Amino acid sequence: MRRAPASLAAVVLLAGLAVLLYDVVSVRAGQPGMAWRRTLSDELAGTRVDDTAVLAGAAVAALLGLWLLVLALTPGERSVLTMRPDVPQVRAGLERSAAALVLRDRAMEVPGVRSVRVKVKRHKVKAHAQAHFRDLDEVRSDLDAALEEGIEQLGLARRPGLSVHVRRPAKR
């Protein structure tokens, strides 16, 4: 969705600037300027700034620029994690919520884990677990190993960092 407008704007600007550069170089080399540029400059010299056509063109250019700025500054598909391209022509992605669910299920298989919350962000996976009958250090090391293996099996293009926090449930 973002590549098409940016590519179109880049191609149009590149073509226009290439033609203009060619014309400026040819004028500097002693050749007459292109007829369209001479005609355009003569028309623009005789046109008032408050003319309806000039104001409409300025409004269209401002709206196009605003649209491109909004596209550039707003996040894209941030909920999708890019996967490794095993086949060059295929691009795949994995929703962060699905990755979190897979890793949570993986963490719940670790002995001694009572409950776990997993948050998957673009560059980091955070797991908060409650252990109930094993030593916390053992649970943490087993959880680290299980989640590291789970992250590897997700097949993400950029491997996120892992942060694991294990604690005992609050006493009542």
Per-residue pLDDT tens digits for 2-44:
678 778 888 999 999 999 899 889 989 998 888 888 888 888 8
Same domain for 61 and 136?
Answer: no
Q: How many domains does the chain have?
A: 2
Residue 1: its pLDDT value, please?
A: 55
Q: What is the pLDDT of the chain when averaged over all its residues?
A: 90
Pairing between β-strand 93-95 and β-strand 80-82 as defined by DSSP bridges: antiparallel
Residue 9: its pLDDT value, please?
A: 82
Query: What b/e string do you get for 52-83 counting C-beta neighbours within 10 Å, with b at 16 or more?
Result: eeeeeeeeeeeeeeeeeeeeeeeeeeeeebeb
Same domain for 9 and 30?
Answer: yes
Same domain for 163 and 112?
Answer: yes
State if pTM tops 0.85.
Answer: no
Query: Containing domain of residue 146, as a range?
Result: 81-167
Assess if residue 93 is contained within a domain: yes
